[in-house]
A and B are shown apart, each in its own frame.
Chain A
Amino acid sequence: MPTPPADVAHLLRRAGFGGSAARIAELSALDRPALVDAVLSTTASPSDAAPASTGNALIAEWTQTQDLSTWWLKRMITSPTPIVEKMTLFWHGHFASSQDKVNRTLYLYRQNHTYRVNALGSFKYLAHQMAIQPAMLSYLDNDANVKGAPNQNFARELMELFLLGVGNYSEDDVIASARAWTGHGINDNTKTYQFNGMQHDYELKTFFGTTKAWDGPEIIDEILTNTLKRVIAARFITRKLWTFFAYANPSDTIVNTLAATFWTSGFSITALLRALFLRDEFWSTTARQALVRSPIEYVVNIMRQMGLTPEEANPEWHLRDMGQQLFYPPNVSGWKPNGYWLSTSSASARAEFAQRVAFVLYGKGSLNGLWVSYPGFAVNQVLDLAGISDASANTKKVLLDYGNAQKARATWPMRTGLCALALLSPESQLA
């Protein structure tokens, strides 16, 4: 049974960065399970060789990070497997590291590559890889966590923010875990992960009630295999993914059922996402109206829809003021949804970006076809251009009132004005 185009559009917005009319029509032929499988397929994901400047000591770190950010935005805009980039963005907010502290673009690139190649793979493997990525070792100071003088930063966040959530471990567990992670650091010459046995605490520690000579990676294994803890971990990740893809505050039934799928699959991220997207609640009106686009989602959707490159639209001039910069999560807990993005100053930055896009499109002649002598017609054209197939009566009225008022004064600003307004409509700002 084919899938209604509005449903396909909903899935493509959530599991990616929106779909073109052609892509929506193409996928509408599939039934829901086949559609979900098609969207989750990663086989066409392009390789992700680093930008030329990454790790080049002759180029300033700031420039390197800008290049890397543009490189990633381009992938989001052009990738044939947007779910991979969407999940890479999710992991960037989950296992967060910021260039503010790491100050080494090469590490952030490698971490980004690791998010990407494991984006829909094994969560267990991803967690192990994250712990020993130099970006994380540096960001959470485990490179300075040594025998006799443990630094708890990573060990604490591993449980609080990455695997379990607050309240599911004791301070003693943090202390034991920090000791277990001693000696896992960075080789300053090769700039890669290195275990230094001289700095590792080989003594007995008691973690989750078991006393032995715990080593760091065993902590992750314990959390994800211990019959009590693995369920908590699975629910913790599931809840966060549901909030990212569907809506905040899911019921325990949804979380517990999906979490069971997650851990019984051996923590397969694809298995979890397939089950998530196949739940009826994901397709509900509640879910469809539940998420405000993050700034990255906002600019990528627009550039993807309008066929613009980052070099043309310069989103990097506006993203910081919108409140989200790639490679600069605000802190180790990453970004939050919805209300987190709503402030007058972030609205201002979105408006400035929408205005810029309108002028760039105007400059390219893309708005020449808008029939501004007939505002009613031009409104429909601009909504199509913006990929808004289901504009509310209110949005249409606002655009039409504007068109009529503008026509009464002068038609020349109407092309850019209508375009910016379409990009600022609630439809454009919701995910």
Chain B
Amino acid sequence: MLPSDIETKAALRHLSVPADGSRKGLSRRRFLQAAALGTGGLLAGPGLGFGGILPGWEEHLAAAGPLGPADGVLVVLLMAGGNDALNTVVPFGQPSYYTKRGSLAYQPIGTLPLAPGLGLNPNLVKLEARFAAGKVAIVQGIGVVDQVSFSHFESMAAWMQGSAGGGTPNSGWLGRWLDGAPPTNPFAAVSIDSSVPLHLIGETRKAIALNADSAPFGGTPDPGWDLVYEAFSNFAAQPSGLGSWGDAVAGTGSQLIQTAAQAKPLYSPTLPAGPLVDKLTLAARLINADLGARVIGVTYGDFDSHKNQPNMHPNRMRELDAGVEAFFTTLGAGFQGRTSMMVFSEFGRYPVRNDSNGVDHGWSGNAFVIGDRVAGGLKGQTLDTAVTETNGHIRPTMDFRSMYASLLTDWLAADATQILGGSFSPVPLFSSAPG
């Protein structure tokens, strides 16, 4: 639905791009050219190419809007910095946990019950209630099994890229899902941030970004400025003549104007304050607005607790608990059965406490998958603090791509083998399909 005649004019301009052959063919070719040109840096994936062509206006008009009744929505939350898996899902039944963690270890009595010998961090009260209700799968012992480095950068790149192959990654697993999704809706993948992380960047498309801090520019047609919005969008109506990055800059502006009007209502009433509650409330409202959002990325941190962990990690846990709760309580009833959230971190932390009262980078971690259709419970093998490599690390017992395979196949109905570049035995995560 077009909110105003201004956007009709913009749409017409887009449609009037001189086309030799079908306009779709043109846009595709331009896109591939741009994709071939514009790479550089880990997060600097392909530019948006000939901006304004994709998402194409006529397609956008035809297909923007509601989810199909069986379309799954996936929210991916990154706990950036390396969440301490052992103090999140506490193996209090393991004597070596206490030997290695010393004063940082949680006593059994404070933790929230999960299973014999295993408790949830005392600050994850609401999450534990969801677990008890069977709505939370805890995927244990997950990580980059073939990891050779314990750097944030490399681990995050591996998780975000989500496929085998060396070199600097230039696309991410959900970005490649987006490449294969119908090229119709700008809201198909959304990053709730001021930037788009690698896992939401594909070979030919990338997620749009919505910032929780304020509604985007151009959202409210202003009597004095609506023509400016339209003109801003029109920088992308023709090639910029300034190369692929010039086109990409223009395309981003055009995409902003296209999406701003639809995103505006999401910011009212004012989002609740909080380091994660605001972002996840916006994510839930975005789903409720039924604009066609299928994949939503949220990044949140810092979890890098090298020092004085007790001053930091419990706060992150409380914020996580509050954020997840805000998300699911904001989410409309009609979307509960179609929405799942996956929570991960680039690695866990070292089993042994360091002398700064913190823990250094580790290896194996835990992930959470939360939602109405999730087959709740403990998946995989609990991290065993007694069994470590010669360097003292706990080796992951599950490849992170096994979890991706399930999310892609069972929740997004996508071709996991193609997206992940290989076959990974899926972990059963869902009790039924989205619906």
> A residues bordering B, Cβ < 8 Å?
100-101, 141, 144, 146, 148-153, 156-157, 160-161, 166, 171, 243, 247-249, 285-286, 289-292, 320-323, 331-333, 336-349, 351-352, 355, 392-395, 397-399, 401-402, 405-406, 409, 412-413, 417, 420-421, 424-427, 429-430
Interface of B is mostly: loop
Is the beta-carbon distance between B234 and A398 smaller than 8 angstroms?
Answer: yes
Chain A interface helix/strand/loop/mixed = helix
Q: Which residue of B lies closest to A100 (CB)?
A: B302
Asked if B209 and A392 sit within 8 Å, CB to CB, the answer is no
What's the minimum C-beta distance from B166 to chain A, rounded to whole angstroms? 10
- Is the C-beta of B117 less than 8 angstroms from some C-beta in chain A? no
Task: Please state if B391 and A348 are interface contacts (CB–CB under 8 Å).
Answer: no
Chain A, Cβ-Cβ closest to B234: A398
**Chain A residues near B307 (CB, 8 Å)?**
141, 144, 151
Evaluate contact between A321 and B41: CB separation under 8 angstroms: no
Given contacts A248-B39, A344-B256, A345-B216, contact A166 B149 (CB under 8 A): yes
| A337 and B193 form a contact (CB under 8 A) | no
Take A151-B354, A348-B260 as given contacts and tell me if A398 and B152 are in contact as well, using a CB distance cutoff of 8 Å: no
B231 contacts the other chain (CB 8 A): yes
| CB of B355 closer than 8 Å to a CB of A | yes
Minimum CB–CB distance from B152 to chain A (whole Å) comes to 7
Q: Check B227 against A424 for contact (C-beta < 8 Å).
A: no
The CA of A161 and the CA of B213, in the complex, are separated in Å by: 31
> Which A residues touch B113, using CB under 8 A?
none
* A127 vs B45: C-alpha distance when bound (angstroms): 30
Which residues in B have their C-beta under 8 angstroms from that of A292? Answer: 245, 248-249
10 A–B contacts from the bound complex (CB under 8 Å): A141-B307, A144-B306, A149-B355, A347-B255, A349-B211, A351-B256, A394-B239, A424-B232, A426-B250, A430-B245
Chain B residues with Cβ under 8 A from A333's Cβ?
Answer: 152-153
Q: Nearest B residue to A424 by beta-carbon distance?
A: B232
> Which 6 A-B pairs rank lowest in CB-CB distance, beginning with the nearest?
A248-B40, A149-B355, A289-B243, A144-B356, A339-B44, A343-B209
Given A339-B45, A344-B255, A345-B194, answer yes or no on A394-B260 (Cβ-Cβ < 8 Å). Answer: no
Contact B228 A421 (CB under 8 A): yes
Question: Digit string of B224-259 for contact with A (CB within 8 Å is 1, else 0)?
Answer: 110110111011011111111111111011011001
Partner of A290, one of B238, B245, B358, B361: B245
Chain B nearest CB, measured from A80 CB (Å)? 30
Are the C-beta atoms of B259 and A344 separated by less than 8 Å?
yes
B221 within 8 A of A: no
Is B228 touching A336 in the complex (CB atoms < 8 A)? Answer: no
Given A141-B306, A413-B224, A340 and B195 touching (CB < 8 A)?
yes
The reply to whether A425 and B306 contact each other, CB–CB distance below 8 Å, is no
User: Do the beta carbons of A346 and B194 come within 8 Å of each other?
Assistant: yes
Are A413 and B225 in contact, with the CB atoms below 8 A?
yes
